[in-house]
Chain A
């Protein structure tokens, strides 16, 4: 008897987890998968390639090699052989290298601020939704008030605190970006908290914090992932706007935003300076948005709009 029941349990089909199902659905979405691979490629290129041999320092100027054409190589006045895959800018700096280094700053800042907003938003929303009652209405009223803050203006004021430290600035931007995330998580938690597994956890005598962090938050992961993929491009856009206004990355360092600004200033004489960073920036945001849409369809098939 025992041996047969063993054999039976061996043949029982393995359950398919939510994550696996979602991944299979995502794999069928070619646009989202292409976006995912493209985005990963951009991340790898920006974080690894600048350290490869043959990639020039992005801040080294060659006054004698200004505005070189793409695919040109030349010998600088110091006798150094330089190859410009995408040409050089008005100071003789390698455009490709500046785009890669700029991308590192843009992406890292996007990830950092998103991580901060994710942490605050998820914890805030989960606590508010789970405890409920008066605490919930006070916490959500605070969110309502913060929503009415003119966001861009507050960010510009924050730059006066951290003008010379981009990383701290973006930690702070993350700290004001969490509002929507907290609303999403709160909604999820409210719909989850009356289900049986929470009741079971309660009857086992688990503490409120343990229920929130171990049982509720992991169940909100779907919408949170989707919103995260949409927050990264939003923050990257914000960084670019700040750099464009001269409040973000300070020269000679670069980010995609500051490169686009430099390019816009010299658009008439050298359109490549604007076009290359704008294309890579646009494509990266494009991919992240498509990936976010794809993930939403994959993680929550019911919400799929098509």
Chain B
């Protein structure tokens, strides 16, 4: 009952946060200088006025905001002003799966590499192995995605000729992109895991377990792991948000047809509905992720609920 109430209140908060985010981006995008119909060529004044009337941009901003919310509830994100003849729904339906899969694969790779490295470093703390692993992790954090990405592309695609960088279809660019993203976040996760595992390992119940003669391996994974992994779970929400931003870079480097390129173009060309639509979709994704993270955390560590 307690858990249910906690989940419900977190759900309500997420909905409220979503409304705030939609409102912030609507006004942020609309108040930006310039407009969607300005071009390098001089466009006659009356044409711009006509376009503005067609799209309803001549109405007061607050009325437009109301209309926008009304449309949003029905799931209609509006027409894309930059991609003639396409709706925002169509653009997002095309690009989002690419960005999403890239982000999720990156996250999975990051967890597969990061968590074991962190646990291992914590178990062998202050040994050469620990120092080497943690220095490597620090390097991974400092060498940004946009350095790793072209290097991986160079090594695997051009030198080893395993993959063809320019092709999305053969899924090689996808793999390289996910690897680039994953390596970066695995470094963070490794450091985080090591730190929290050390916290747990220094507690009394671990000493008790050792004293009882429980096998060290079992102490590490049965007793310490559940507490040690909690901060990592909490980090998954922000990590996914970061992975989405990072995927924009990776998409640029490997030429993947995700939302990144569309979004950057939309922002520079003031494609209002595409900007708002993209932010809304990503905000929903992040909020769902954070919500799931909270629920999982409450299950891992029941004390979270009372906080």
Contacts and interface: CB of A to CB of B under 8 A. Distances in A.
Contacts of A145: 16-17, 20-21
Identify the interface centre among A144, A157, A247: most chain B CB within 10 Å of its CB: A157
Contacts of B190: none
Nearest to B261: A245
B28 A148 contact: no
Contacts of A160: 29, 32-34, 267-268, 270
A241 B148 CA distance: 12
Interface stretch (A2-10, A73-81, A260-268): A260-268
B252 A150 contact: no
Nearest to A233: B142
Q: Is the interface of A mostly helix, strand, loop or mixed?
A: helix
A156 B267 contact: yes
A237 B279 CA distance: 22
B222 to A, nearest CB: 22
B142 A241 contact: no
A285 interface: yes
A282 B136 CA distance: 13
Interface residues of B, number: 56
Interface string B121-136: 0000110000000000
A305 interface: yes
In the complex, which range does the number of interface residues on chain A fall in? 35 or more
A228 interface: no
B151 to A, nearest CB: 8
Interface in B263-307: 263-264, 267-268, 270, 275, 278-279, 282-283, 286-287, 290
Interface in B167-215: 194-195, 198-199
Contact of A264 (B150, B195, B245): B150
Contact of B143 (A159, A241, A282): A282
B158 interface: yes
B13 interface: yes
A73 B228 CA distance: 58
A154 B248 CA distance: 13
A245 B149 CA distance: 13
B248 A245 contact: yes
Interface string B21-57: 1001100110011100000000000000000000000
B144 interface: yes
Contacts of A141: 13
B236 interface: no
Nearest to A142: B20
A196 interface: no
A286 B141 CA distance: 8
25 contacts: A144-B17, A150-B279, A150-B282, A152-B246, A153-B278, A154-B25, A154-B279, A156-B263, A157-B29, A160-B267, A160-B268, A240-B146, A241-B144, A241-B245, A244-B146, A245-B252, A260-B146, A264-B149, A264-B253, A267-B150, A268-B154, A274-B150, A278-B147, A289-B138, A306-B125
3 closest residue pairs by CB, A with B: A152-B245, A285-B142, A264-B150
Interface of A: 141, 144-145, 147-154, 156-161, 163, 233, 237, 240-241, 244-247, 257, 260-261, 264, 267-268, 274, 278, 281-283, 285-286, 289-290, 305-306
